Amino acid sequence: MDFAKLAEKLGLEKDEFIELVELFLDVSASDLGKLQSAIDERDIQQAVEVAHSLKGASGNLGLDEISRMAKNVEANARQGSLDGATEAVRMMKEKRELIAEAIKNA
């Protein structure tokens, strides 16, 4: 992951960008837990809200894969479907871990 390039797109220094990504990683851990709980409880509205939050936060940082997955969960939930949402949460968690590892090596 090219943090310098992503930072430049946002007009930030690399260190500033990494701080924002670290904050996202902290918040997204909780949000992904909330999203999985909403899925398990079939709470469509909560799933929409949490997926929307994840979509926006990740998209604002240029973390497009997470943003795209959250967007799909949100769109499906708005249609009343949580099909594939658990798998999407699993994949977002994996991507989150990859980003955390990349930060350690940045």
In a domain, residue 5? The reply is no
Output the domain CATH number for residue 75: 1.20.120.160
Helix %, strand %, coil % of the chain (to 5): 80, 0, 20
Residue 43 lies in a domain: yes
What average pLDDT does range 17-23 have in this prediction? 97
Q: Tell me the average pLDDT across 70-97.
A: 97
Residue 28 resides in a domain? yes
Query: What pLDDT, on the 0 to 100 scale, is given for residue 7?
Result: 93
| 26-79 pLDDT tens trace | 999 999 999 999 999 999 999 999 999 999 999 999 999 999 999 999 999 999
When divided into structural domains, the chain yields a total of 1
- Which structural domain, as residue segments, surrounds residue 51? 13-104
pTM: 0.92
Is residue 41 a part of any domain in this protein? yes
Given a cut of 90, whether residue 1 has pLDDT beyond it is no
* Residue at 7 is within a domain: no
SS3 57: helix
pLDDT for res 106: 82
Query: 76 lies in a domain?
Result: yes
State the Cα–Cα distance between residues 88 and 104, nearest whole angstrom: 24
